Structure 1
Amino acid sequence: MSRVLIVGAGLTGSVCACLLRRELQNKVHIVVWDKARGSGGRMSTTRPPDHLSHSADLGAQYITATSAYAQSHQSFYSELLSSGVLQPLLAQVEGMKHKDDDRNYVTPLGMCSVVKHFLSESGADLFFEHHVTGVYRCGASWEVERKEGASETFDAVVLTMPVPQILQLQGDVGQLLSVQQRRQLDGVVYSSRFAVALFFPPDVVFSFPWAVRYVTNNSCICYIAVDDRKRNTDASGRGPSLVVHTSVPFGLEHLERDKEDVQPIILLELSKLLPDLPQPISIKCQKWRYSQVLTSVPDCPGHMIILDQPLLICGGDAFSHSNFDGCVESALSMLSVLKASLTPTGRAN
């Protein structure tokens, strides 16, 4: 049985693990490591430390399917809709740039529920707070080191973290990259932004009617959402949550500052936009250094093979595009490579 390590418990990693399990079943032992304390990556759902009934999506907010992807990825959408993970976005949205044939979906249990669904289906051994620091060639295997704890050996390694983190790995990755591959990876550009979640008492009812508002006349804030309204869920008994995303220029300007120093700036701008906003009982701020891919790897079919045997491959939205379907495309492309590498009939003689 081949041991496969998938680094990153975000959308690409979870879909890849799920597809690998369904294709190879008990022929592969799948392990997923993530440096965070929970799954989701940029599709994370957060809770305040002292009010466990609250939750808010600090990363991705909803899923948009174009007509082409709604058809080519129909099995994925059907699976998530039938299981109740996805529901159509029905709430009032102000300022959305919407194409008539696009379909928008929300997650009643938060965006992380999409990732958790695929991880559950994968049957993978899932480990959090496993921060990979180095990948070393060890004969026909890979020895993978992490920040704390012993290294482990795997037959194949899949890297789904942001490209700059791949390039920072110690070991053989840098030596194995060709000049062209290095140039392609160096050219990847991400946007950066801050996100703030405000959690309110159970008796709070907002006076404005919308669930989501795109802000166009503010240099700091570009997006505001009432999470329960957006998800079409009932906040009674726990109180509503409000999510604020900053603009890309603001994120870039303040990227190297601590989030604790940036949070008051965001809250001041929010008070100008929503002067009657009640006092929250808890606030959480997140800095997304790697928010969305602005410039992806050119001429890559959703992945990049660093070494064929033993297989070391990287994928994610940097090798396609930054949305749900881009991550699915990357996972599908990596699945083909993994199947060819891990099954006797798929390997070249």
Structure 2
Amino acid sequence: MSRVLIVGAGLTGSLCACLLRRELQNKVHIVVWDKAKGSGGRMSTSRPPDSSSHSADLGAQYITATAAYAQSHHSVYSELMAAGVLQPLDGLVEGLRQRDGSTDYMTPLGMSSVVKHFLSESADLFFERHVTGLYRRGASWEVQRKAGDSEMFDAVVLTMPVPQILQLQGDVGHMLSVEQKQQLDGVVYSSRFALALFFPPDVVFSFPWAARYVTNNRSICYIAADSRKRNADGPGRGPSLVVHTSVPFGVEHLEKDKEDVQPIILQELHKLLPDLPQPISIKCQKWRYSQVLTSVPDCPGHMTIHDRPLLVCGGDSFVHSNFDGCVESALSVLSVLKASL
């Protein structure tokens, strides 16, 4: 039985693990590692430390399916809809540019529920496993962790952001061709901060929208009444508000501690929503790698660094930065794994 390691418990990694299990069943032993304390990656759902009744999406906010992707990825969308993980987004989103034939979906249980759905049947999942190096050992890979120990695998899939792939110690850098190195160096990400404000159960927002795109503000580009957007308001549940900063703001403050940036965002927020009540808890997230602005050109959704033992990279950096880009990449990586294994 081949041991396959998938690094990264975001959408690409979780879907790839799920599909690999379904395709090869008991022929492979699938392991997923993530350096974070929970799954989701940029589709994470956060809770304050002092409450189980609050939650907020600090990364991806909703999923937009074009008519073409709704057809080509029909099985993925229909599965998530049937499981109750996805529902049509029917709340008012001010400033949303409508695209012909596109459908917007929200996640009633939060964005991380999409990733958890695929992980629930797919793999042995381990958190706080930070990969620092890969070393070829004959027909296997020795994968080293920050904790100092290592494990052996027959194939490795890397789905973390490209800069983190390039930082890996060991044999990865030597195996990249000149062209591959240039392509990876050319991947560009946006950076931003996100803020979640959690309120007492008796708070009712006075504005009518579920989300709003903000124009003419250098600091804030998007605000969402997150619980309203997900139809999650209910008895005993306090509402939550999510704020995303603009990319220029993210770049300007990227190297600062988020504790120092949070008051600046709150000050700008209160200019936009002066009647906002006092929250009971606030969480700030720095997204160094938010969205892919420039992906690897003309890429099929993956990059194979080494054939045997297999080392392949996937994620939205190798296609385009949205939900369907990650699905496309997972399907692409799956085809490479099946051919190799």
TM-score, length-normalised on structure 1? 0.97
DSSP-derived class of the 2:120 partner: helix
The CA distance in 2 between the partners of 1:236 and 1:111, in whole Å, is: 22
Deviation at 1:236, TM superposition (A): 2.8
Corresponding residue number in structure 2 for 1:345: none
Corresponding residue number in structure 1 for 2:161: 162
* Kept after mapping to 2: 8 A contact 1:34/1:130: yes
Give matches, 1:185-204, under 5 Å: 185-204=184-203
Unaligned runs of 5+ in 2: none
1:24-72 CA deviation, whole Å, 9 max, x = no partner?
0000000000000000000000000001210000000000000000000
Deviation at 1:98, TM superposition (A): 1.4
DSSP-derived class of the 2:121 partner: helix
1:276-334 CA deviation, whole Å, 9 max, x = no partner?
00000000000000000000001210000000000000010000111110000000001
Deviation at 1:235, TM superposition (A): 3.6
Give matches, 1:45-124, under 5 Å: 45-122=45-122, 124=123
Q: Partner letter of residue 282 of structure 2?
A: I
* Kept after mapping to 2: 8 A contact 1:90/1:232: no
Corresponding residue number in structure 2 for 1:211: 210
1:114-152 CA deviation, whole Å, 9 max, x = no partner?
000011131x00000000000000000000000015200
1:159-201 CA deviation, whole Å, 9 max, x = no partner?
0000000000000000000000000000000000000000000
Q: Give the 4+ runs in structure 1 shifted more than 4 A.
A: none
Q: How many residues align?
A: 341
Corresponding residue number in structure 1 for 2:291: 292
Corresponding residue number in structure 2 for 1:20: 20
Deviation at 1:234, TM superposition (A): 2.2
* Kept after mapping to 2: 8 A contact 1:15/1:328: yes
Corresponding residue number in structure 2 for 1:136: 135
Q: Partner letter of residue 80 of structure 2?
A: L
* Kept after mapping to 2: 8 A contact 1:228/1:235: no
How big is the alpha-carbon RMSD for the aligned residues of Structure 1 and Structure 2? Answer: 0.6
Corresponding residue number in structure 1 for 2:36: 36
* Kept after mapping to 2: 8 A contact 1:188/1:297: yes
Deviates further, 302-311 or 232-241: 232-241
The CA distance in 1 between the partners of 2:235 and 2:108, in whole Å, is: 15
1:178-236 CA deviation, whole Å, 9 max, x = no partner?
00000000000000000000000011001111110000111000000011110122243
The CA distance in 2 between the partners of 1:148 and 1:235, in whole Å, is: 43
Q: Partner letter of residue 107 of structure 1?
A: T
Corresponding residue number in structure 2 for 1:244: 243
The CA distance in 2 between the partners of 1:111 and 1:280, in whole Å, is: 22
Q: Partner letter of residue 338 of structure 1?
A: L
The CA distance in 2 between the partners of 1:274 and 1:236, in whole Å, is: 24
The CA distance in 1 between the partners of 2:19 and 2:60, in whole Å, is: 22
DSSP-derived class of the 1:121 partner: coil
Deviation at 1:76, TM superposition (A): 0.2
Q: Partner letter of residue 152 of structure 2?
A: T
DSSP-derived class of the 2:126 partner: strand
